[in-house]
Every structure is written in C-alpha cells, then in structure tokens.
C-alpha cells in the first residue's frame, strides 16, 4: 500500500470537495448561521447564576425572541437582558426553573402567546417538552458538551455548510436526502417550513429580510401556522394558570419583579387567537389573578397597528420599534423604576 | 467524550503531539496516556472516574495477591472479592432498578402491596465494558493463565486506555498490558492506516448510522400504531444496519486511534451479516464479548464437556446473561434467549440433518441467518414487549392493513443500503479492509477516503451518542 500517496491525494480531494461545497452554498445566497440549540440556550441560562437584581430576563415563545431586541433594551435602560425565550414553547417550564432552581430576584419579562401559555402542563406535549428539554440539558450538560459547543461556535460563524437549519432550508446530508420524495406514501401533512430568523451568540434574534420582501416566503410560513392552528388541542387554562401563579407567588415573595407582555400578532392568526382564546377570558383574567404589571400591545396606540409579515412575529425593523416603545411604556408606568434611564 | 465530536479532535491532536514529542520518556508517555484517559472519561461525568479508580485498585491488589498466594481457598477469596466489587458496582448502577421492579412485581402478586422507589441512578458510561475487562484479568490471574502486570501504571492504563474504554473492544490482559512494557511508536504506515480506520469508523457512525438509517428506525419504533408489513420490515432492517454501523464504527475508530499510537487492538467485527449460521455469527459479531462469554461463562458452566443437556443449558444461560449484559430489561433477555435457541437448533441440525455448505446454499444460509437475526433485533430495539409483538406480527404479514409511516424513498433507501451491506459482507467475509485496500490502486483508495471525509463533513450533526455506550 502506498499510504502516503493515498493520504495526500485524499486530503487534497477532501479540501477541494469541502471548499467547493461551501462556495456553492454561498453562491446560492446562503451564509453562516448560528444554531439556536439547547447548548446556546444553556450559555444564557448559565448567566442567570450570576445575575443580580439589576438584570432582566426575557422568557416566552418565539414572539419574545423576534420582537424583543436586546440592543434597544440596552439603549433604553442600560442593561442587556438575558434572552431565554424558546420557540414553540410555553414560558412556564423555564419560569419554574428560574424560580425554583435559582435565587434570582430581578425582573423577568414573560411573553404571553395565548396559544402556548394556556396550552398545557402535560410534560410530553410539545409546548412543554421543548422548553423543558432545554432546562434539562442545562442541568445535565457535560463538560464535553460544553467544550464541543464552544469549539463549534467559531466554525458555525464562519462556515455555511455547518448550518443546522432543518426542513426545506436544511443543507446537511440528512436534510438534503429528506427533501427527496417519491410518490405520496405516508406523506407529511405539514407544509414546508422556512427558517425565518437569524440568531446571534447572545440569542438576539432578528427576522430574515426575505420574510418581509418575499410574499410567497411569508405565505409559506402562514400555512404552517394555519396547519398548527387547525388541530390545536383545547387550552388548559385552569392548570396552566394555577401552575404559573404558584411559581409567581414564590418569585414575588423573594422580591422578584415579573412583567407580562403580549406581543403583536396579525391577520388570520390574530383572528384565530381572538376567537379561540378571547382576551377577556384569558389575558385579562390572567393579569387580574397575577396582580403584576402587564402590557398588551392592543392597549397602546403607538404599537397596536404593527403588522407581522407572517402573522406572528415582527420584522427586524418593527421589532426594534416595538422594543423601544414597550420599554418606554414600562418605564413610564414604573415597571422598571430601579433601572437607570437615558 | 465522543469520537464524533470537536472536543475529541482537539483532545486527540494534543495526545498525539505529546505522545510523539520528546518531552516524555516511555513511562512519562504512559502516565500522559493514563491522565488523558481519565480526562476523556471525566469530561462526561468527573465523579464517576472514582469508580474506575476503585475497580483499578481492587483488581491490581487482587492480582498482586493472586500472583503470590498458593493457598487455594485464599486464592478463591481474593477472586470473589474482585468479583463482588466489580459485579456489585455493575449490579447497583445498571440492574438495581430492574431488580427492584421485578421484586416488587413478584411480591405484589402475593398481595404484599410493597412500594419501591426508583433511584434514577446514572449509568456510568462503559461500565459493562471495563468491568468485564478488569474481571478477565483477575480471573486469568486466578487460573494462572496470565502474568501479573509488571507495574501499577501498566495495569491502570490497561483498565482505562481511552480508545476502548467505553465501548470496547474488550481486551484481554495478555493482549494489551504486554504492549505497554516496551515503547510503542506507530510506523508511518500504521499511523496513516490508523487515521484511515478512524475516518472509516466515523463514516460508519455519522453517515451510515446517524444520517441514513436512524430516522427510519426512530419513526418506526416510536410509532404507537400497528404497522404495515413494509414499514415493520424496513424499520427493523434499518436498525440492523444502524446498530452494525454504530458499533462497528466505534470499534473501527478505537482500533484506528490505538494504531496511531502504535498499539494493536483486536478486531471486533468480521462482516457478521454474511454469517453461515449462528455459531459463525458470534465469531463475527462483537467478537471480544462473545469470546469473553465463551471463556468466562460458557466453558466454566461446563461447555460441551458434560453431555448434551449440560451443553445446551450452558449455552442458553450464557446467551440469556449475554442479553442481560446489553441492558436491564426483559426484552434484552428475550433477545439473548432467541440467540440461545438459534444456537441450540443449529447444533441439532448439524447433528441430525448435516449438509455441506457450498457457494450457492451458503448464500441462502447467510440470508436465512440474517433474516433470523433481524427477528431478534426487534426485541433488542423495542422498549416494550407490546411494541415488539406488534412489529413481529406486522413482519409476518398479520397486519396487512397496518399503518404506513415511511415514505417510498425511505423504503427504497433502506432497501438499497441494507442490500448493499449484505452483499458487501458476503464478498468480504473471508478477507479484510486492509487486504482489499492493498489490492486497489492508491488513487482509488484516496478517492474513497476523500468521499468519506466529505460526507462526514456535510453530514456531521450534534454528535449523537453511540448506541453501545448505554450498555
């Protein structure tokens, strides 16, 4: 065997292959992205261990991720919040973790997406299981997992082909093969789903501009919301509110400041929310029982008419505006009274 | 630490640089390897390194005593001490909840109303592997089949050597410790071949097992529905491929990494899916475990020395315990029982209906063996008997109206991969990757190598754990 010859040729061919693949992906308009995985969430969760009364935590679903911009928060109050929101998630498991597994007694902004907040407390249901898996990962992560993630971040930031996007935007071998369909045997009823956000290391997430400029792109995401909305199980208001209030009581007793925020939605999704989870019965009742500061976008002229390109989340530009305005409203209301203002 | 992770890439580079630098003499290199092995293990769960230390100290001390003690009874006590500690840890960490559950079920059938609480104990990674490895040393010392390790460092490194620590191959003392006595350096060809094996192993794990087969398996075995014939078979065939590529991939990586250090580890797989019967299968599948079970369980139980009944009993007990070794569940025991039954039936066939294996009936025999192996995989993969029975009934076409969960492409993909896997094993059954590599032009080997690297690069995921780590 002429192994020296083989290894040199193999290395050259591998490098040519990988570089070509990277260049091809970039020529298709793709670029390096960071994966919003459990490890990235855990990095932010770690920061809570040293957080003080002067910190702010953001929890909730993807609406908090898209709509609450960290730069604008920082500009308004001089503090960069810790972003712990999780897509497709009820905020309850993460709030439960923060209340019961930390001594944190600062401010927590809790995003209320009615279809998720009031959905369930059943551990196997997706709105519960997804955020709980992040909490569990944080508790159980190994040093090897931490070092793997730290090593992967510079690669994720510089190499397109490492993108962990899934579904129609996926470029890993498994995702590429998953796009091949022959016939309709056991066809997946879910419409194709595009990744429409880009996340940074501190989990500040912005909507991709294509969602704003390309109607077909936005419509494909709307179809997914319709798909999920169509067969959504009935909300479990009693259990979810009881669960939340129990943790809230503990948090308030140790001096914590919890604030509820209802981020904008629009179009048919909002109509569906109003129909299935009427504000009066859900949001208003929750606010009354929680007895904490609460802000619903519909109550403020400056933000009530914001439109979501795909019905559920704000564009990057509108998210900056929304964040600025909602923080101003909170400040004016005294909800953030102990933070310095500019 | 997983071989298919970035941390391991950095770890291996550091180890290789230190190993081939002139900073250390051979003893220093061995100390470095030992320290690196503890880091390799400890990065997963540092406190559990203590178990490794206890196992190492107990067996070193026992070996030392057995080397000098001539009193038979005392020798037996020392052996029992070692087995008590090693099997005690294994039982506590791996089988405690299983035993308590079964105890509770049994006593409650008599109306005692006993309540037990699960401890949710973490299963120390690779405990079944290193326990068997250290036990082999002590048993061999007791039977005077091996020399005592010359130094504690050599012995500790034998127990902890990171390439094979968590998922084998399970190496005998005489095969590994003696390699630590003199300085080892890989030749340039050994080093490059070791690197090739590492890439081949990663390709098997990352591309074949995790990328091409795992989703199909998960889709089928996580379904709570009664499945269609094709879905049940394809899910099971996909699992047969997944577990082979996953485990053989780990072993190939381990052998390759050790070779890069100049250390030779034994083969663990020899194209098992082209086995001509079940005796042949167990000489080709997880060879180091099956030979361990043969030498330390089957033969001490009597083997074939005391008549047919005793032989079949020994065979069945060995396979049942072999099943239990894989996991604390009755499904694993049934898996072992099926293999025991197959082995017994095969021996009966050889005795009463002997026939000569030719090229043509050989392929049929290999196909039949592979088919029967797939039936056993159902019990290995299913978490519950209900799932297993549903799968088996679908595979025997008892649910023609069963649910379809796989797309046509999935079925085609699995069919092609497993078909090629079977054919590959058939043509490779009497040769090796190394022998074939010697016959092909260096450029062809390079192209294959480059394709594997490229596919590993574009397939890499979040570093799925190797299936056998849980055993």
Task: Note if the bond before B169 is cis, omega within 30 degrees.
Answer: yes
Count Cβ atoms below 10 Å from residue A328 Cβ, excluding itself: 16
The four Cα atoms A16, A17, A23, A28 give a dihedral, to 10 degrees, of 160
Both structure tokens of A257: 């400041």
User: What is the domain range of residue B134?
Assistant: 6-105+120-179
Beta carbons of B458 and A161 less than 8 Å apart: yes
Partner residue opposite B6 with nearest CB, options A3, A148, A173: A148
Rounded distance, CA B1 to CA A322, Å? 44
- Chain B residues whose CB is inside 8 A of the A180 CB are 409
pLDDT, residue B95, reads 84
Nearest CA in chain A to B449: A10
Beta carbons of A173 and B409 less than 8 Å apart: no
pLDDT band for A285, please (50, 70, 90 cuts): very high
The least confident of A236-245, A302-311, B106-115, B403-412 is B106-115
pLDDT for residue B161 is more than 70: yes
Domain presence at residue A341: no
A92 or A231: which leads in pLDDT: A92
Q: Note whether B164 and B209 are same-domain residues.
A: no
Q: Note whether A8 and A81 are same-domain residues.
A: no
Rounded distance, CA B182 to CA A91, Å? 60
A268-to-A225, A281, A312, B213 alpha-carbon distances in Å: 10, 20, 10, 39
Rounded distance, CA B75 to CA B141, Å? 10
pLDDT band for B328, please (50, 70, 90 cuts): confident
Count Cβ atoms below 10 Å from residue B279 Cβ, excluding itself: 15
Partner residue opposite B454 with nearest CB, options A8, A14, A183: A14
Whether the Cβ atoms of residue B232 and residue B217 lie closer than 8 Å to each other: no
Q: Note whether A26 and A170 are same-domain residues.
A: no
Q: How is residue B400 annotated by DSSP?
A: T
pLDDT band for B97, please (50, 70, 90 cuts): confident
Residue B358, class by beta-carbon neighbours within 10 Å (0-12 exposed, 13-18 middle, 19+ buried)? exposed
pLDDT, residue A164, reads 86
Mutate to test the interface with A, among B408, B440, B447 (most CBs of A within 10 A): B408
Rounded distance, CA A249 to CA A252, Å? 5
Q: Note whether B240 and B126 are same-domain residues.
A: no
Mutate to test the interface with A, among B414, B445, B447 (most CBs of A within 10 A): B445
Both structure tokens of A73: 């928060």
**How far does B397 lie from chain A, in Å, by closest CA?**
19
Nearest CA in chain B to A20: B454
Both structure tokens of B458: 């574009």
Both structure tokens of B348: 């009966």
pLDDT band for A277, please (50, 70, 90 cuts): very high
Q: Note whether A221 and A134 are same-domain residues.
A: yes
pLDDT for residue B152 is more than 60: yes
Q: Note whether A161 and A12 are same-domain residues.
A: no
Beta carbons of B412 and A21 less than 8 Å apart: no
Both structure tokens of B122: 């973490």
Q: Note whether B376 and B247 are same-domain residues.
A: yes
Residue A229, class by beta-carbon neighbours within 10 Å (0-12 exposed, 13-18 middle, 19+ buried)? middle
**How far does A151 lie from chain B, in Å, by closest CA?**
7
Domain presence at residue B231: yes
pLDDT, residue A342, reads 47
Domain count, chain B: 2
Q: Note whether B101 and B31 are same-domain residues.
A: yes
Indicate the average pLDDT of chain B: 91
Mean pLDDT for the stretch of residues A106-121 = 95
Q: Note whether B228 and B372 are same-domain residues.
A: yes
Both structure tokens of B446: 């390079």
pLDDT for residue B344 is more than 90: yes
Rounded distance, CA A244 to CA A242, Å? 5
Residue at a domain's end among B160, B179, B198: B179
Q: Is B43 an interface residue toward A (CB < 8 Å)?
A: yes
Residue at a domain's end among B179, B212, B227: B179
Residue A226, class by beta-carbon neighbours within 10 Å (0-12 exposed, 13-18 middle, 19+ buried)? middle
pLDDT for residue A266 is more than 70: yes
pLDDT in tens, B377-429: 999 999 889 999 999 999 998 888 889 999 999 999 999 999 999 999 999 99
Domain presence at residue B390: yes
- Chain A residues whose CB is inside 8 A of the B123 CB are none
**Of A29, A232, A213, which Cα lies nearest the Cα of A113?**
A232
Beta carbons of B42 and A143 less than 8 Å apart: yes
Pairing of strands A257-262, A107-111: parallel
**Of A29, A103, A77, which Cα lies nearest the Cα of A326?**
A77
pLDDT band for A190, please (50, 70, 90 cuts): confident
pLDDT for residue B462 is more than 80: no
Rounded distance, CA B446 to CA A6, Å? 5
Q: Note whether B28 and B84 are same-domain residues.
A: yes
- Chain A residues whose CB is inside 8 A of the B207 CB are 173
pLDDT for residue A67 is more than 90: yes
Q: Note whether A278 and A328 are same-domain residues.
A: yes
Q: Is B192 an interface residue toward A (CB < 8 Å)?
A: yes
Pairing of strands A293-296, A257-262: parallel
Partner residue opposite B450 with nearest CB, options A17, A178, A185: A17
B468 or A28: which leads in pLDDT: A28
Q: Note whether A180 and A40 are same-domain residues.
A: yes
Q: How far is CA A259 from the centre of its chain?
A: 18
Q: How is residue B404 annotated by DSSP?
A: P
Rounded distance, CA B380 to CA A111, Å? 44
Q: How far is CA A165 from the centre of its chain?
A: 14
Whether the Cβ atoms of residue A309 and residue A265 lie closer than 8 Å to each other: no
pLDDT in tens, B214-263: 999 999 999 888 999 999 999 999 999 999 999 999 999 999 999 999 99
pLDDT for residue B103 is more than 90: no
Whether the Cβ atoms of residue A194 and residue A217 lie closer than 8 Å to each other: yes
Q: pTM to 2 decimals?
A: 0.91
pLDDT, residue B245, reads 96
pLDDT, residue B461, reads 61
Per cent of chain B over pLDDT 90 is 76
Q: Note whether B142 and B207 are same-domain residues.
A: no
Partner residue opposite B408 with nearest CB, options A8, A172, A182: A182
pLDDT, residue B327, reads 85
Instruction: Return the HEC string of chain A.
Output: CCHHHHHHHHHHHHHHHHHHHHHHHHHCCCCCCCCCCHHHHHHHHHHHCCCCCCCEEEECCHHHHHHCCHHHHHHHHCCCCEECCCCCCCCHHHHHHHHHHCCCCCEEEEECCHHHHCCCCCCCCHHHHHHHHHHHHHHHCCHHHHHHHHHHHHHHHHCHHHCCCCHHHCCCHHHHHHCCCCCCCCCCCCCCCCCCEEECCCCCEEECHHHHHCHHHHHHHHHHHHHHHHCCCCCCHHHHHHHHHHHHHHHHHCCCEEEEEECCCCHHHHHHHHHHCCCCCCHHHHHHHHCCEEEEHHHCHHHHCCCCCCCCCCCHHHHHHHHHHHHHHHHHCCCCCCCCCC
Per cent of chain A over pLDDT 90 is 86
User: Measured in Å, how far apart are chain A's first and last C-alpha atoms?
Assistant: 72
Q: Note whether B242 and B195 are same-domain residues.
A: yes
Domain count, chain A: 2
Nearest CA in chain B to A25: B458
User: What is the domain range of residue A111?
Assistant: 32-332
Q: Note whether B101 and B15 are same-domain residues.
A: yes
**How far does B98 lie from chain A, in Å, by closest CA?**
23
Instruction: Tell me what ipTM this predicted complex has.
Output: 0.89
Q: Note whether B67 and B152 are same-domain residues.
A: yes
Active site residue B339: no
Mean pLDDT for the stretch of residues A50-59 = 94
Domain presence at residue A340: no
Per cent of chain A over pLDDT 70 is 98
pLDDT band for B96, please (50, 70, 90 cuts): confident
**How far does A59 lie from chain B, in Å, by closest CA?**
25
Partner residue opposite A3 with nearest CB, options B193, B404, B455: B193
pLDDT band for B470, please (50, 70, 90 cuts): low
Whether the Cβ atoms of residue B292 and residue B136 lie closer than 8 Å to each other: yes
Mean pLDDT for the stretch of residues A99-125 = 95
A196 or B119: which leads in pLDDT: A196
pLDDT band for B471, please (50, 70, 90 cuts): low
Q: Note whether A271 and A304 are same-domain residues.
A: yes
Domain presence at residue A342: no
**How far does B157 lie from chain A, in Å, by closest CA?**
21
Q: How is residue B466 annotated by DSSP?
A: P
């Amino acid at each position: 065997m002429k192994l020296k010859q083989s290894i040199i040729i193999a290395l050259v061919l591998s490098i040519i292959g990988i570089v070509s693949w990277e260049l091809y992906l970039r020529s298709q308009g793709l670029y390096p992205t960071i994966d919003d995985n459990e490890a990235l969430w855990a990095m932010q969760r770690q920061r809570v261990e040293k957080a003080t009364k002067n910190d702010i935590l953001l929890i909730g679903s993807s609406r908090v991720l898209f709509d609450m911009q960290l730069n604008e928060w920082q500009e308004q109050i001089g503090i960069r919040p810790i972003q712990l929101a999780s897509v497709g998630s009820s905020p309850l498991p993460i709030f439960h973790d923060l209340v019961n597994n930390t001594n944190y007694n600062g401010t927590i902004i809790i995003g209320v997406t009615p279809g998720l907040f009031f959905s369930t407390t059943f551990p196997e249901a997706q709105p519960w299981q997804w955020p709980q898996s992040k909490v569990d990962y944080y508790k159980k992560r190994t040093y090897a997992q931490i070092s793997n993630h730290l090593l992967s971040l510079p690669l994720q930031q510089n190499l397109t082909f490492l993108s962990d996007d899934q579904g129609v935007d996926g470029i890993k071998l498994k995702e590429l093969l998953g796009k091949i369909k022959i016939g309709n045997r056991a066809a997946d009823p879910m419409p194709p789903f595009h990744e429409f956000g880009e996340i940074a290391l501190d989990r500040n997430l912005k909507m991709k501009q294509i969602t704003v400029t390309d109607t077909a792109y936005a419509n494909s995401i709307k179809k997914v919301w319709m798909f999920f909305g169509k067969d959504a199980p009935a909300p479990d208001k009693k259990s979810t509110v009881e669960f939340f209030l129990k943790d809230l009581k503990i948090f308030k007793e140790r001096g914590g400041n919890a604030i509820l925020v209802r981020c904008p939605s629009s179009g048919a999704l909002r109509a569906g929310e109003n129909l299935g989870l009427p504000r009066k019965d859900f949001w208003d009742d929750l606010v009354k029982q929680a007895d904490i500061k609460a802000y619903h976008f519909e109550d403020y002229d400056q933000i009530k008419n914001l439109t979501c390109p795909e019905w559920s989340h704000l564009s990057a530009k509108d998210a900056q505006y929304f964040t600025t305005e909602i923080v101003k409203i909170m400040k004016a209301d005294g909800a953030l009274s102990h933070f310095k203002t500019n | 630490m997983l071989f298919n992770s970035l941390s391991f890439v950095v770890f291996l580079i550091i180890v290789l640089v230190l190993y081939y630098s002139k900073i250390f003499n051979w003893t220093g290199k061995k100390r470095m390897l030992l320290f690196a092995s503890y880091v390799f293990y400890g990065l997963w769960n540092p406190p559990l390194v203590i178990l490794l230390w206890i196992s190492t100290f107990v067996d070193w001390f026992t070996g030392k005593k057995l080397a000098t003690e001539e009193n038979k009874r005392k020798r037996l006590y020392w052996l029992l001490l070692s087995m008590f500690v090693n099997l005690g840890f294994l039982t506590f960490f791996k089988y405690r909840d299983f035993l308590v559950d079964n105890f509770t079920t049994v006593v409650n059938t008599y109306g005692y109303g006993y309540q037990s609480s699960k401890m949710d104990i973490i299963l120390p990674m690779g405990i079944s592997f290193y326990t068997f490895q250290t036990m082999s040393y002590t048993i061999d010392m007791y039977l005077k089949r091996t020399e005592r390790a010359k130094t504690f460092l050599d012995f500790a490194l034998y127990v902890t050597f990171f390439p094979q620590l968590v998922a084998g191959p399970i190496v005998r003392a005489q095969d590994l410790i003696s390699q630590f006595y003199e300085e080892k350096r890989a030749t340039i060809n050994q080093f490059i071949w070791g690197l090739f094996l590492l890439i081949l192993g990663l390709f098997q794990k990352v591309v074949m097992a995790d990328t091409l087969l795992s989703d199909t398996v998960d889709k089928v075995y996580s379904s709570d529905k009664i499945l269609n014939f094709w879905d049940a078979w394809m899910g099971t065939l996909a699992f047969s491929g997944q577990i082979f590529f996953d485990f053989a991939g780990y072993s190939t990586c381990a052998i390759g990494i050790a070779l890069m250090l100049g250390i030779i580890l034994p083969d663990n797989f020899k194209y098992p899916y082209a086995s001509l019967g079940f005796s042949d299968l167990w000489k080709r599948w997880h060879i180091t475990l099956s030979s361990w079970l043969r030498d330390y369980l089957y033969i001490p139980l009597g083997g074939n020395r005391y008549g047919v009944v005793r032989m079949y009993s020994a065979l069945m007990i060995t396979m049942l315990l072999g099943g239990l070794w894989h996991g604390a569940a009755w499904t694993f025991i049934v898996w072992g029982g099926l293999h025991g039954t197959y082995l017994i039936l095969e021996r009966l066939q050889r005795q009463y209906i002997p026939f000569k294996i030719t090229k043509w009936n050989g392929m049929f025999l290999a196909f039949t063996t592979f088919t029967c192996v797939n039936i056993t995989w159902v019990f290995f993969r299913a978490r519950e008997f209900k799932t297993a029975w549903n799968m088996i009934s679908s595979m025997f076409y008892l649910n023609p109206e069963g649910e379809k969960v796989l797309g046509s492409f999935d079925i085609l993909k699995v069919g092609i991969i497993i078909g090629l896997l079977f054919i590959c094993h058939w043509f490779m059954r009497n040769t090796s990757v190394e022998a074939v590599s010697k016959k092909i032009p260096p450029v062809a080997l390079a192209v294959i190598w480059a394709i594997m690297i490229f596919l590993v690069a574009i397939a890499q995921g979040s570093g799925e754990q190797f299936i056998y780590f849980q055993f």
